[in-house]
């Protein structure tokens, strides 16, 4: 039989009841694996009390991290979230580098997703229409119902209801509505309001748009 | 009479009846255990906030509840009164396929959530009746990359991809998996072409 030793004199009242419970559970657990009888003698030794202490420590750390995670996810879904910029389509407003730490980090708010009311010139985060796993950041320059002049062919198109026209500030390296057309507003994930890194660029993100492409010209 | 407040004994020294009433009132106010009440209120408030956050996380990312209304999915879904469980994990992982009933944000108004059946994924060829009820003409389209073709089961009364074209997959918010009300129709939502 398996025996664990200890001294009972070390027990305080609280730990002894915990020890009794732990002993019962541990015995039952070991019984599943041992064919011979399992016996655990009074186990208020320092070693078992340490195990009890470590167990409740781990449990409270686990509880705190789950609570923190749930609250963090809720805040990030409904109010404000932090995003690191990858890609060069918004240069020079926002730049990226190869490492996430040196690229720009921005603050995006989610309150705009309540009524989907945007203004021309807002910088928005949205899911790519041809790959739902990628998130793009571009500037919204055409609201539903407005007219936009395409740069290539000079023809004027109307942005359909429930859609918007997005373009990056860095026209040469931006894959945007000039290629994939107007996007449904439902793809929008948030609106970028501030840059919070690097320190030289900290501040609000201002609204601007190419004046020569939106009527009246 | 000497009132006892939290073990402190405060002697009475009234100069007039109204002053006596005033000092009694102030003493009673001081006797209320404000710090304890504030402590309990903040811990209850914190607990409620944690509970609401947990509800949000579960209903947005795991399993939600939907109350679809409208005739576009008859006979699979009733016009009103149905309560459906929506699986929020499947769309994020890409486990949505033809025949599934999905919840998506309407491409015509992002504040509206519509329930439709997926008929084609990216690359599929979809043949659909152009003008159901009036003519038998059909059209065939190929669904572009990253998009899906959605149609209501009740083609005579449904505003779907036949009107607004294929929709990006990113608009899908949930997959209807199980009906929990009315009791006569409890069960999983059939997946059919």
Over residues A105-144, the pLDDT tens digits come to 999 999 999 999 999 999 999 999 999 999 999 999 999 9
CATH superfamily of A82-204: Umud Fragment, subunit A (2.10.109.10)
pTM passes above 0.90: no
The answer, yes or no, to whether residue A89 has pLDDT greater than 70, is yes
Instruction: Indicate whether A88 pLDDT > 50.
Output: yes
Q: Is B145 on the interface with A (CB under 8 A)?
A: yes
Positions of chain B with pLDDT lower than 70, given as ranges = 1-14, 192-193
For residue B147, list chain A residues with Cβ-Cβ distance below 8 A: 129-130
Candidate list B72, B158, B161, B175, residue with the active-site label:
B72
pLDDT for residue A97? 76
Q: Which residue of B has its CA nearest to A161?
A: B108
Q: What is the pLDDT of residue A28?
A: 66
- What distance in Å separates the CA atoms of residue A176 and residue B145, rounded to the nearest whole number? 16
Rounded to the nearest angstrom, the gap between the alpha carbon of residue A173 and the centroid of all alpha carbons in its chain is: 26
Using alpha carbons, select from B81, B76, B120, B124 the residue that is nearest to residue B98. Answer: B120
Average model confidence (pLDDT) across chain A: 81
CB proximity A63 to B under 8 Å:
no
Q: Mark B50-75 as b/e (b = at least 16 C-beta within 10 Å).
A: beebbebbeebeeebebebebebbee
- Of the partner residues A70, A71, A186, the one whose CB lies closest to the CB of residue B105: A186
- State how far residue A144 is from chain B, nearest Cα, in angstroms: 10
Residue A60 appears among annotated catalytic residues = no
pLDDT for A17: 62
Q: Which residue has better confidence, A70 or B17?
A: A70
Residue in A with minimal Cα distance to B146: A130
Q: CA of B28 to nearest chain A CA: how many angstroms apart? A: 39
How many angstroms separate the CA atoms of A192 and A90, rounded? 12
Contact (CB<8Å) B168/A73? no
Percent of chain A clearing pLDDT 90 (strictly above): 52
A66 CB neighbours in chain B (<8 A) are: none
Q: How far is residue B144's CA from residue B168's CA, in Å, rounded to a whole number? A: 9
| Confidence (pLDDT) at A196 | 92
pLDDT at A103: 80
What are the backbone dihedrals phi and psi of residue A176, each rounded to the nearest 5 degrees, phi first? Answer: -145, -155
Residues of A in contact with B51 (CB under 8 A): none
Q: What is the ipTM of this complex?
A: 0.80
pLDDT single digits (tens) A15-69: 566 666 666 676 666 665 544 455 555 555 555 554 556 788 899 999 999 999 9
Residues on chain B touching A115 (C-beta within 8 angstroms): 111
Chain A residues in contact with B60 (beta carbon < 8 A): 77
How would you classify residue B112: left for phi > 0, otherwise alpha for psi between -120 and 50, otherwise beta? beta
pLDDT exceeds 90 at position A214: no
Q: How many CB pairs under 8 A join A and B?
A: 70
What's the pLDDT at A7?
44
Annotated catalytic residue, options A45, A89, A174, A177: A89
Chain B interface includes A159 (CB < 8 A): no
* Chain A interface includes B147 (CB < 8 A): yes
Which DSSP helix (H) or strand (E) runs through B63? strand B63-66
Mean pLDDT check: name the lowest of A94-108, A150-164, A182-196.
A94-108
Q: How far is B125 from chain A, CA to nearest CA, in Å?
A: 17
pLDDT at A20: 66
Distance, CA of A17 to chain centre: 43
CB contact under 8 A, A188 and B144: no
Q: What is the DSSP letter of A159?
A: P
Test the A interface: residue of B168, B169, B172, B174 with most A CBs within 10 Å: B168
Interface test with B, best of A159, A184, A187 (most B CBs within 10 A): A184
B116 is known as an active-site residue: yes
């Amino acid at each position: 039989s398996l025996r664990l030793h200890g001294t009972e004199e070390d027990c305080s009242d609280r730990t002894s009841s915990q020890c009794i419970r732990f002993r019962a559970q541990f015995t039952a657990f070991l019984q599943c694996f041992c064919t011979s009888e399992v016996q655990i003698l009074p186990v208020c030794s320092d070693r078992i009390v340490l195990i009890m202490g470590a167990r409740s420590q781990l449990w409270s750390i686990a509880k705190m991290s789950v609570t923190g995670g749930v609250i963090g996810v809720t805040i990030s879904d409904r109010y404000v979230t932090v995003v690191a910029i990858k890609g060069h389509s918004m240069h020079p407003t926002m730049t990226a580098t190869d490492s996430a730490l040196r690229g720009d980090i921005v603050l995006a708010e989610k309150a705009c997703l309540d009524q989907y009311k945007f203004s021309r010139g807002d910088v928005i985060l949205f899911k790519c229409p041809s790959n739902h796993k990628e998130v793009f950041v571009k500037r919204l320059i055409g609201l539903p119902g407005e007219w936009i002049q395409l740069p290539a062919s000079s023809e004027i198109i109307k942005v359909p209801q429930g859609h918007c026209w997005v373009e990056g500030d860095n026209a040469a390296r931006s894959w945007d509505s000039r290629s994939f057309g107007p996007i449904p507003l439902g793809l929008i994930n948030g609106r970028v309001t501030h840059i919070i890194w690097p320190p030289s660029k900290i501040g609000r993100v201002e609204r601007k748009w190419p004046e020569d492409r939106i009527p009246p010209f | 009479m000497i009132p006892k407040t939290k073990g402190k004994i405060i002697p009475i020294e009234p100069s007039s009846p109204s002053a006596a009433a005033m000092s009694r009132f102030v003493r009673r106010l001081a006797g209320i255990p404000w710090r304890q009440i504030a402590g309990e209120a903040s811990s209850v408030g914190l607990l409620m906030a944690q509970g609401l956050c947990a509800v949000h996380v579960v209903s947005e990312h795991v399993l939600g509840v939907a109350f679809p209304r409208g005739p576009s999915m008859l006979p699979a879904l009733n016009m009103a009164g149905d309560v459906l469980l929506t699986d929020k994990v499947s769309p994020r992982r890409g486990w949505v396929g033809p025949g599934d009933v999905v919840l998506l944000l309407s491409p015509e108004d992002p504040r509206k959530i519509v329930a439709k059946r997926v008929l084609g994924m990216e690359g599929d060829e979809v043949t659909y009746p152009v003008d159901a009820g009036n003519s038998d003409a059909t059209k065939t389209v190929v669904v572009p990359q990253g998009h899906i073709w959605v149609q209501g089961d009740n083609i005579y009364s449904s505003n779907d991809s036949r009107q607004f074209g294929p929709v990006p997959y990113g608009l899908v918010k949930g997959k209807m998996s199980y009906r929990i009300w009315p009791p006569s129709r409890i069960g999983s939502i059939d997946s059919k072409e």
